């Protein structure tokens, strides 16, 4: 369907204006989205990192204070009263300490101070059975417990080695850190929580989740092993999309995690995208309106010119067009009007010329020796010459408005109908027209469509060239060759028997020179017999007398036998022979003809491949057929020979010896089995002969017609 210029111009203008705008806008939306999402994730990372740093600072400060106290206790020989005073001063300076005590090697608390604001009353207890104490006693290193709750306060317990006899036991309250974590909120759904090195939640806004394992949350697994801050997106158990960040607490191997629902966290991003798309749409509509108005102003004069041209095409050369503008389109309109005036003058003087040309054309058509028939698309005869009238017995001078189908053979009628249905084709066909029961005429018919100088279809031209004489000469040559070969084969067979008789020494002793002469005679007679047999085989194939002896053939084994026979020639030229076959393949075919096919193709490859060359055989198992490729690294075949290399007696100029029938026989063998053969080659790059045979039940195809 032809699209008019105005909608086409409007579409182009809109596309030019809207598409770049849309692409740039969408790209900017995407860049802004990435930037905003990155900023949101960075905010969460900073929040998690800030909490982790505060915990690290808190633990570090307490640790430094206790190390100072331990240093003071180890350096000075203090009385127990002085030690009690030292412990009490630590409590006064650090209100987060619940209690602090001296523990001996048996785990007994021997001296203890406590913070009455955090612990109502206390007593000396024994820690001998506690794993943390046992580990501190064994390793003589500082041991820190996991977080636990005491009177609903989150606590940790630390054993510090104090000299060789005691340990300093300190219980810390993490209530302030807990409050800081629990009061950290991001939006409505964002919150923070703390996990220990085992992946258990130790501080969380939801108390029922405390001390439960959170290893199923991706952020928890990552923060336990990570040494850096990071963020990511994931889905929770309900399928809700979550974004989160984490930061490790390095002093305690804990991790601070902040997470928030993605739809809330990215709400500003979604809002920005909606607003940006809205303004892009508004801009696109505005651009489309401007493009429409601009296209309308530009195409109106062009449409006027098109309508004027249509009138001129209809033969109205007095048409004038008016364009009310003062630009190049006005100049184009003036040129158009000048052209129509000149066309009118030209049309007035062309009538006589057309009559003269018609007379010349008819004189040429009527004087040529070939029969010519011109018809329209419905098959009505428009023009014939006397030769056509004579051959097809057309009524002389009364053939106008007659249908060509009434006079042509059916096969030609079908070809003409096909040509009318497919104007891009032409046909070349050979037909036989019987004159009498014994006499026939052979014609080479060429059909093609005729077009006017304007490109309009005028009709169908059929030219009939008499090739009867050529056919009779070809038949005489074939009959002569077949007769001679038949007459030569019997005496030649007798000669070969006598040569063999003499070579075996049955008529007397032979010297070396005589044996060499008989060997030469044996080779020459064998080549002559092969030539005769090839000629006779081709004659049988052409006449349909060659019958296939079908049997199950193992294609791989058959190729192996041919390769074994050709092996001496391969070794003599030091060729690399490669065979690629996917598996054992069997076909229902004539084994002798198939072996002859491979022998001819492989023999040609060996013959034309130079020393140290390469020959490759590829057998491919396809769904409905078997495909074989035989390629070599020989000199290649010129392009003009590729189409006729399979014709009888066709040989390249560089070829020495041979009959020119080997590839012809290969073609007949493949086509008799229902397959197809062809060649691909470039000069200097070698040749590749390709054929395929059907895998289904073999259908016997008749040999190709000799013509």
Please report, for the chain, the start and end positions of each structural domain, with discontinuous segments joined by +. Answer: 38-277, 370-543, 546-694
pLDDT, residue 252, reads: 79
Using CA atoms in the order 330, 335, 337, 339, what is the torsion angle rounded to 10 degrees?
-160
Instruction: Give 446's DSSP letter.
Output: E
For residues 49 and 331, the answer to whether their CB atoms sit within 8 Å is: no
Sign of the four-CA dihedral 123, 128, 132, 134: positive
Q: Which residue shows structure tokens 């630590």?
A: 90
Question: How far is Cα 67 from Cα 284, in angstroms, rounded to an integer?
Answer: 71
Write out the two tokens for 403. Answer: 């249908």
CA atoms within 13 A on the CB side of 612: 0
At 143-170, the pLDDT tens digits run 888 888 877 788 888 898 888 888 989 8
Q: How far is residue 127 from each of residues 99, 133, 134, 344, measured CA to CA in Å?
A: 14, 6, 9, 124
pTM greater than the 0.75 cutoff: no
The CATH homologous superfamily to which domain 370-543 belongs is PAS domain (3.30.450.20)
pLDDT tens digits, residue range 48-106? Answer: 888 888 888 888 888 887 888 777 777 667 778 888 888 888 888 888 888 888 899 88
Q: What is the pLDDT of residues 612-625, one digit of tens each?
A: 999 999 998 888 88
User: Is-contact 673 590, C-beta < 8 A?
Assistant: yes
Residue 680: helix, strand or coil by DSSP?
strand
What is the model's pLDDT at position 615?
A: 93
Say whether 546-694 and 370-543 share the same fold: no
How confident is the model at residue 231, as a pLDDT? 86
Residue 630 pLDDT = 93
Q: How long, in residues, is the chain?
A: 707
* DSSP result, 509-537: ---HHHHHHHHHHHHHHHHHHHHHHHHHH
CATH top-level class of 546-694: alpha beta
Q: For residue 687, what pLDDT is reported?
A: 92
Mean pLDDT per 10-residue segment, the chain (707 residues): 66 75 80 81 87 85 80 73 83 85 89 84 85 89 84 85 86 86 86 88 86 85 82 86 88 86 83 82 80 74 76 75 74 79 73 66 73 78 77 72 71 65 66 68 78 75 80 72 64 75 76 79 69 68 71 87 87 90 81 88 90 92 89 89 79 62 86 90 90 71 42
Closest CA to 147 of 238, 210, 67, 69: 210
- pLDDT, residue 703, reads 43
pLDDT at 693: 92
The sign of the dihedral angle between the CA atoms of 478, 483, 486, 491 is negative
Q: Does domain 38-277 have CATH number 3.30.450.20?
A: yes
């Amino acid at each position: 369907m032809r699209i008019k210029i105005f909608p086409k111009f409007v579409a182009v203008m809109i596309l030019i204006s809207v598409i770049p705008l849309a692409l740039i806008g969408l790209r900017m939306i995407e860049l802004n989205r990435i930037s905003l999402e990155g900023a949101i994730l960075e905010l969460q990372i900073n929040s998690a990192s800030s909490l982790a740093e505060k915990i690290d600072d808190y633990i570090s400060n307490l640790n430094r204070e206790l190390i100072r106290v331990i240093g003071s206790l180890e350096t000075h020989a203090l009385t127990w009263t002085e030690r009690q005073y030292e412990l009490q001063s630590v409590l006064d300076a650090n209100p987060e300490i619940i209690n602090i005590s001296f523990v001996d090697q048996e785990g007994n608390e021997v001296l203890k101070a406590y913070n009455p604001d955090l612990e109502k009353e206390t007593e000396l207890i024994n820690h001998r059975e506690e794993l943390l104490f046992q580990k501190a006693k064994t390793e003589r290193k500082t041991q820190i417990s996991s977080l636990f709750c005491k009177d609903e306060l989150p606590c940790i317990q630390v054993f510090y080695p104090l000299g060789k006899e005691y340990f300093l036991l300190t219980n810390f309250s993490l209530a302030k850190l807990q409050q800081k974590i629990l009061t950290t909120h991001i939006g409505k759904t964002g919150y923070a929580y703390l996990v220990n090195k085992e992946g258990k939640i130790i501080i969380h806004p939801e108390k029922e989740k405390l001390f439960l394992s959170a290893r199923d949350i991706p952020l928890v697994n990552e923060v336990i092993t990570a040494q850096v801050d990071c963020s990511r997106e994931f889905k929770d158990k309900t399928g809700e999309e979550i974004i989160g960040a984490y930061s490790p607490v390095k002093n305690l191997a804990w991790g601070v995690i902040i997470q928030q629902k993605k739809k809330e966290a990215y709400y500003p991003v979604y809002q920005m995208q909606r607003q940006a798309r809205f303004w892009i749409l508004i801009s696109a509509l505005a651009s489309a309106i401007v493009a429409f108005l601009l296209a309308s102003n530009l195409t109106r004069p062009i449409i006027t010119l098109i309508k004027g041209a249509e009138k001129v095409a209809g033969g109205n050369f007095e048409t004038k067009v008016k364009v009310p503008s003062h630009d190049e389109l006005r100049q184009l309109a003036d040129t158009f009007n000048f052209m129509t005036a000149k066309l009118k003058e030209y049309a007035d003087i062309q009538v006589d010329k057309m009559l003269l040309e018609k007379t010349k054309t008819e004189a040429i058509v009527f004087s040529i020796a070939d029969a010519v028939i011109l018809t329209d698309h419905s098959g009505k005869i428009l023009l014939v010459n006397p030769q056509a009238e004579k051959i097809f017995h057309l009524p002389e001078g009364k053939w106008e408005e007659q249908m060509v189908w009434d006079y042509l053979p059916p096969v030609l009628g079908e070809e003409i109908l096909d040509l009318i249905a497919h104007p891009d084709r032409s046909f070349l066909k050979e037909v036989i027209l019987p004159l009498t029961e014994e006499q026939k005429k052979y014609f080479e018919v060429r059909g093609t469509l005729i077009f006017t100088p304007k490109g309009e279809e005028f009709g169908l031209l059929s030219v009939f060239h008499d090739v009867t004489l050529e056919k009779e000469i070809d038949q005489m040559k074939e009959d002569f060759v077949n007769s001679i070969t038949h007459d030569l084969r019997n005496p030649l067979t007798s000669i070969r028997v006598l040569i063999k008789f003499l070579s075996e020494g049955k008529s007397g002793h032979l010297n070396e020179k005589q044996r060499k002469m008989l060997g030469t005679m044996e080779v020459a007679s064998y080549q002559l017999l092969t030539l005769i047999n090839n000629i006779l085989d081709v004659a049988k194939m052409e006449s349909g007398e060659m019958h296939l002896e079908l049997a199950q053939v193992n294609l791989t084994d058959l190729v192996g036998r041919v390769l074994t026979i050709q092996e001496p020639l391969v070794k003599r030229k030091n060729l690399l022979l490669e065979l690629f076959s996917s598996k054992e393949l069997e076909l229902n075919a004539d084994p002798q003809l198939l072996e002859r096919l491979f022998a001819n193709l492989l023999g040609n490859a060996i013959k034309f491949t130079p020393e140290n060359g390469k020959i490759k055989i590829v057998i491919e198992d396809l769904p409905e057929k078997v495909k074989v490729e035989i390629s070599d690294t020989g000199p290649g075949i010129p392009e003009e020979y590729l189409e006729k290399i399979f014709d009888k007696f066709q040989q390249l100029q560089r070829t020495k010896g041979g009959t020119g029938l080997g590839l012809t026989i290969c073609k007949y063998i493949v086509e008799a089995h229902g397959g197809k053969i062809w060649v691909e080659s470039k000069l200097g790059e070698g040749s590749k002969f390709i054929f395929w045979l059907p895998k289904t039940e073999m259908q016997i195809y008749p040999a190709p017609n000799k013509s």
